[in-house]
Structure formats: C-alpha cells, structure tokens
Structure 1
Amino acid sequence: MAEEYDYESLGNNTSMGQNALAGALAGVAEHCAMYPVDSIKTRMQVIQSGRPPVPVNPTTVAQHPSLKTASRNLWRGVNSVVLGAGPAHALHFATYEYCKEAFVGDGHHALGFAAAGACATLAHDGLMNPFDVVKQRMQLRDSTYRSVRECARQVYAKEGLGAFYISLPTTLAMSVPFQSIQFASYEFFRKYLNPDGQYDPKTHVIAGGLAGAIASSITTPLDVAKTLLQTRGHSLDPRIRNATGFWDAMSIIKQRYGMRGFFRGYKPRVLTNMPSAAISWSVYEYFKWFLDTHESAKKVSQDKSLIRL
C-alpha cells in the first residue's frame, strides 16, 4: 500500500527553499487569477473630484469596440504583480512556516498562528509595496502608462521615491490584521474540516476561501485608505494629491462620503480575496506536499540503493 503522508508534518519536513518555491507559485496564481476583479475594486475605491462615470451594462461589452478595449485594460499592470508577487510570496510563506514552527510547534494556538502570519506580512509588504503602487496606477481607468517600467520611472520622476512607500504604514495597518485573521481562520477551518491531518485539496479550497472572505470583509476600510494614498499622484484634487498619510486619507474619505466611503469596493474586494485565498492556499499546499513527497521518495530510493550495495 502506498505510504500516507501526514499533512500536519509537512511544515517540518519541507525545507525553507521548498516553502519559498511553493509560496512563489501560490502568489503568482493567486494574484493573476482574479486580477480583473481587483482592477474593478481599485477603480471603485478611487475618489473622483469630477462627475462620476456613467454606469455601463456589462452585456453591451461584446457589441462595442471601445468597451472591449476597456475590458482588456482590466489586465493592465498585471506584469507588476508577476514581478513582485513571486519573490514577495516566497518570502511570505517561508517566514510563516519558520515562525509557525517557532511559535506553535506541534500544538494548535490561534495566537501563535496569528503572530506567524503577522511576521510573514511584515516581510511580504516591505518587498511588495512598490510593485503594488505601480499596479494600482496602471489599473486606473484613464491610465496612459504602456509598461511597468514606464510607470515606475514617471512616478519616481514626478513624486520621488517616497511615492512607492507612503502607503506602507497604511498597508501594514491593513495587512497585519488581514493576514493574522486569514492565517488563524485558515488553520482553524483546516483542522475543523480535516482533523486527521491528511492532505486534502478540498479542505484547502474551503478553508482558504472562508479565511479570505472573513479577512477581506473586516479590513476593507483600511484598503480604501491604502488605495487613496497609492493613487494620490494621479488625482486632480489638490486635497488628495497632498494627502500625507493614513489619518489624512481616512479624514478625506470620511469628509467626502461619510462612513459608507470606507466600504467602497467592498463586494469586488471580497469576490477577489475569497477565490484568491482558496487558490493561493491550494497551490501552496499542493506544491509543498508534492515537493515533500518527491524528496521522500528520492530518499527512500537512495536508501534502497545503499542497502543493495
């Protein structure tokens, strides 16, 4: 009978390099799969100083050439995600596995998983933030940037290096609770749905999706503030262009839209993060399992060869 691999032991068996590789593949898959919905979310969150655009019926896209172009433009900036998500997620998951082992070990402590998720987020966001700024600038409806390089160069020339990091404190204020909630929720649902600890793709999909939905719902207000700061240089509104940080962004949103303003783009954000988290965790756990079983089989084969000698 084929050897059964205990899922609970994978974090101990896989190396840091294997966790990083699995994380990189998971990150690229997560961001690319739901990128058009993320673009819609960004456009909904941006505060317009002029007249809002006229709503468009999605069923007319196929009959109108300009709308077809607009639909293709929902993918604009995806190259920035590919460039940043691989290394950032590799660092993210490798840090998580290391901290999880250090904080939790073989037990199950929600605070330990949350702390491991927070540490992983600090590492991830420090690397990913400039790529995310470029991505959101290119996602804007009237963006004229033709490439990631052009966008990064022009943002740097006009606004300086600080433009790539002004949203970092807000990003961390959002991402640390987001990832802490997501990791703790994921581990809870994974253990609840799969108490035996065997590798089960369905468990990862369901647990990941639920964790992503819960975390994105709670942290949407912070995401709206982050979007305002990351796209401020594109705005024609002097108040937004001169926004200095998190509290200033929150004040602008409250003045313009009231409490409802903090939930701009709520639906597409949840629709993005729920399947994205399911994909990310599923891809990550699969490749972690695959790499571990491959290494185990290779070791068994080597041991058998030594015995024959």
Structure 2
Amino acid sequence: MSQPGFAVSFVAGGVAGASVDLILFPLDTIKTRLQSPQGFKKAGGFRGIYAGVPSTAIGSFPNAAVFFLTYEYVKWFLHTASSSCWMPTQHMLAASAGEVVACLIRVPSEVVKQRAQVSASSRTFQIFSNILHEEGIQGLYRGYKSTVLREIPFSLVQFPLWEYLKALWSWRQDHAVDSWQSAVCGAFAGGFAAVITTPLDVAKTRIMLAKAGSSTAGGKVLSALQGVWRSQGPTGLFAGVLPRAASISLGGFIFLGAYEQAHSMLSRVHRKSR
C-alpha cells in the first residue's frame, strides 16, 4: 500500500468510527449503566441516554482514524502472500498494534463519557475538569491497561474472523466482496467477539467508574473481576452482554461496512485526481 493509501485509510476509518459511535450511543449508555456498581436504575436508567455524547463526538474520529492507519500499515509492513498460513497472525498483530495506539486517544474519551453516562446531571466539560483537578492527567488514563486488555482479545477475534469471512465469501462468489457483504461479515465477527470479551468490558467499566483511592481504581483487571464475582457471581461478569453484543454487532455492520465503502470511494477519488 502506498502512502496515499494510508491517508485514505486514516480518513475512511475516522468517518466510519464517528458514524457508528454516534448512531449507537444510546445502546452504549444502557450497557454502561447495566455494568455500573450502583445498578441500572440508580445510574440513570433510560433517562439522559445521550449524556457524555460530546466526549464521544470529539474522540471518535481520531480514535478510529489512528486505529485503521496503524492496522493497514502493520498489515503492509508484515505483508505475506495471500495464501500464506501466516495471514491470520498478520491480522492479529496488526489489530493489536492498532488497539494499543488508538487507546491513547480512546481511553480519556471513554473515561469522561462513562462517568457522564452514570451521572447524567453533570456536564461533560465539568466531569473532564473534575478529573483533571482531582486526579490529573493520570485520571484520564485510568483503565488504560484494562481497556487494552479488553480490546486486544476482542480484536484478535474480530479482525481475523472478519478477514476470513470476507475471503471465504469472495472465494464462493469468485469476486471481491461488496461493502454491504463486508458489513455482514463485520456484524457477525463483532457480535461473536463482544460476547466472549464481556467480562473484560465489565472490569474496564468498574475501574473507570471507581472512586479515586479505592482498590478498584488501582486498575487491576483480575481484582475487578474477582470483586464482581464475589458480589454478583458469574451473571455479573456478563452484565450488559445483550446490549453490548447488539450494539457491537450492529456497530460492526456500520463500522466495517462504512470503512470499506469510504475507503473505496476515497480511493477512486484519489486515482482520478492523479
């Protein structure tokens, strides 16, 4: 892939990420409140389901743009023949690298967003200011490790499965998949990955919502999971699994389909302008 190709991936990824995050924001709010330690009703129930949306609006484009830029670059850097048995490993490494870099942008946005979602009466900027005042920059990155530990396993499942399903579908019809077909593959891959990584998502939510100075705020994923297990049992580890799976499955459809469509359109525009 040439350098202009990386620019196309950057813009296409940003457009896709912003689209899916804003469209599915209410489902994300419901999922966060289901996972909140104070319970769904006390966290706001169905009220103010767009609380925290400014944080998402600001962070979505650069987060997804950086992810796909890194993902496509690492795939290019590790390029092997399409028939190689190492192709899934290439996709796994590319997705993992993309998540590590993207989380530098995603985590501060996620911390502010989730605290706004369980405290709908507080404004997003007020929450952002309070975090900086009480915890400093470090507070904005609380849960970075748990987010990476959630996103990497998720991507290790989602992206190789997405690429495999696209390749299989392409082979069956003897031509490259269309953007809507890529979207269908993305929906299945995302929903499957969402279900099996829900416990890690619960741990990440608890760490981000914990009060400063508490044991959970220390950011240890295993401790957070043990706390959930002791207080709620195995069902607590899968709190919010249905809205999470639904939103990510639908999100995978929109996100990866929109990425393919935007990438195709931008590539055609670039070729015509040369």
Does TM-score exceed 0.5, indicating one fold? yes
Corresponding letter in the other structure for 1:119:
A
Corresponding letter in the other structure for 1:181:
V
Partner Cα distance (2:80, 2:264) in 1: 19
Corresponding letter in the other structure for 2:77:
A
Q: Which residue of 2 aligns with 1:276?
A: 251
Q: Which structure is larger by alpha-carbon Rg, 1 or 2?
A: 1
Q: Which residue of 2 aligns with 1:21?
A: 11
Where 2:197 maps in the other structure, the secondary structure is helix
C-alpha deviation, 1:201, in angstroms = 2.1
Where 1:73 maps in the other structure, the secondary structure is coil
Partner Cα distance (1:187, 1:30) in 2: 20
Partner Cα distance (2:219, 2:66) in 1: 29
In structure 2, the CA distance between the partners of 1:179 and 1:242, relative to structure 1 (3 Å rule), is closer
1:220 correspondence with 2:195? no
Aligned to 1:144, which of 108, 118, 121?
Answer: 121
Q: Which residue of 2 aligns with 1:45?
A: 35
Where 1:198 maps in the other structure, the secondary structure is coil
C-alpha deviation, 1:157, in angstroms = 1.5
Aligned to 2:143, which of 151, 158, 167?
Answer: 167
In structure 2, the CA distance between the partners of 1:13 and 1:190, relative to structure 1 (3 Å rule), is farther
TM-score, normalising length: structure 1: 0.80
TM-score, normalising length: structure 2: 0.90
Q: Which residue of 1 aligns with 2:230?
A: 255
1:176 correspondence with 2:135? no
Backbone CA RMSD of aligned residues: 2.2
Q: Which residue of 2 aligns with 1:100?
A: 75
Corresponding letter in the other structure for 1:290:
M
Runs of 4+ in 1 over 3 A off after TM superposition: 11-14, 51-54, 238-244
C-alpha deviation, 1:52, in angstroms = 7.0
In structure 2, the CA distance between the partners of 1:41 and 1:285, relative to structure 1 (3 Å rule), is same
Q: Which residue of 2 aligns with 1:264?
A: 239
Q: How does 1:232-243 map to 2 (within 5 A)?
A: 232-233=210-211, 243=218
C-alpha deviation, 1:198, in angstroms = 2.6
Tell me, which stretches of 5 or more residues in structure 2 are unaligned? none
Corresponding letter in the other structure for 1:276:
G
Give the conservation status (yes or no) of the 8 Å contact 2:185–2:253: yes
Q: What's the % identity of the aligned pairs?
A: 26
Give the conservation status (yes or no) of the 8 Å contact 1:104–1:113: no
Where 1:172 maps in the other structure, the secondary structure is helix
Tell me, which stretches of 5 or more residues in structure 1 are unaligned? 1-10, 55-66, 300-309
C-alpha deviation, 1:32, in angstroms = 1.0
C-alpha deviation, 1:162, in angstroms = 2.3
Give the conservation status (yes or no) of the 8 Å contact 2:51–2:120: no
C-alpha deviation, 1:119, in angstroms = 0.7
Give the conservation status (yes or no) of the 8 Å contact 1:159–1:233: no
Partner Cα distance (1:241, 1:186) in 2: 34
Corresponding letter in the other structure for 1:116:
A
Corresponding letter in the other structure for 1:43:
R
Where 2:82 maps in the other structure, the secondary structure is coil
Give the conservation status (yes or no) of the 8 Å contact 1:228–1:240: no
1:242-289 Cα distance to aligned partner (Å, 9 max, x none): 555222212211110122211011101001100101101111111110
In structure 2, the CA distance between the partners of 1:52 and 1:149, relative to structure 1 (3 Å rule), is closer
Corresponding letter in the other structure for 2:187:
G
In structure 2, the CA distance between the partners of 1:277 and 1:219, relative to structure 1 (3 Å rule), is same
C-alpha deviation, 1:233, in angstroms = 2.5
Partner Cα distance (1:18, 1:34) in 2: 24
Give the conservation status (yes or no) of the 8 Å contact 1:26–1:283: yes
Q: Which residue of 1 aligns with 2:53?
A: 78
Give the conservation status (yes or no) of the 8 Å contact 1:170–1:226: yes
Q: Which residue of 2 aligns with 1:305?
A: none
Where 1:233 maps in the other structure, the secondary structure is coil
Give the conservation status (yes or no) of the 8 Å contact 2:208–2:217: no
Give the conservation status (yes or no) of the 8 Å contact 1:14–1:288: no
